[in-house]
Amino acid sequence: MDAPERHPRIVVGVDGSDASIAALRTAGSLAGPLGATVEAWACWDVPPGYGLYLVVGIEGFEYAAKQSLEQALADAFGPELPAFVQPRLVRGKASEQLIEGSRNASLLIVGRRGHGSLVLGSVSSACVSHAHCPVLVVHAPEESTHGKRGSHARKSDDGQ
């Protein structure tokens, strides 16, 4: 007997950066052809050393993550969220939560926030190394000295 078909699930790490917005757009373009749902995960936690907030309340951290997620979704998809996109707030360290979320995902997409041209950020590096499904790392749109480049502007091989 064949195993039942799973509905493809794409998990996207969202932190509000240009790279994570690009990751959301990439997930959106893949979702249709794959018949997949997109789960947009915004991970949040109380920063280390903020014990006072545990007494006063941590709602501000969750609220900030929710606002960032909502803005990123609006930037990626416009005012109407597509039906295949499901926003999700997750408390915990982003790398750990996304790796755990990858256990039941068909694809994990994260933005690249690393410094320099060859270095991945810590979250994308951890996900590439430890995820339980394929990982796609999406770069932020390139910027020039005159602002953001259009989608058609590309550098040539000689850097011009």
- Predicted local distance difference test score (pLDDT) of residue 54: 58
Structure-token pair, residue 20: 């994570």
- The CA-CA-CA angle for residues 58, 62, 66, to 5°, reads 165
CA distance 26 to 1: 35
Helix H, strand E, coil C: the string for 8-77 is CEEEEECCCCHHHHHHHHHHHHHHHHHCCEEEEEEEECCCCCCHHHHHHCCHHHHHHHHHHHHHHHHHHH
Give the pLDDT means over successive 10-residue stretches in the chain (160 positions). Answer: 68 95 97 95 81 64 93 96 96 95 96 62 88 93 50 38
- Predicted local distance difference test score (pLDDT) of residue 134: 96
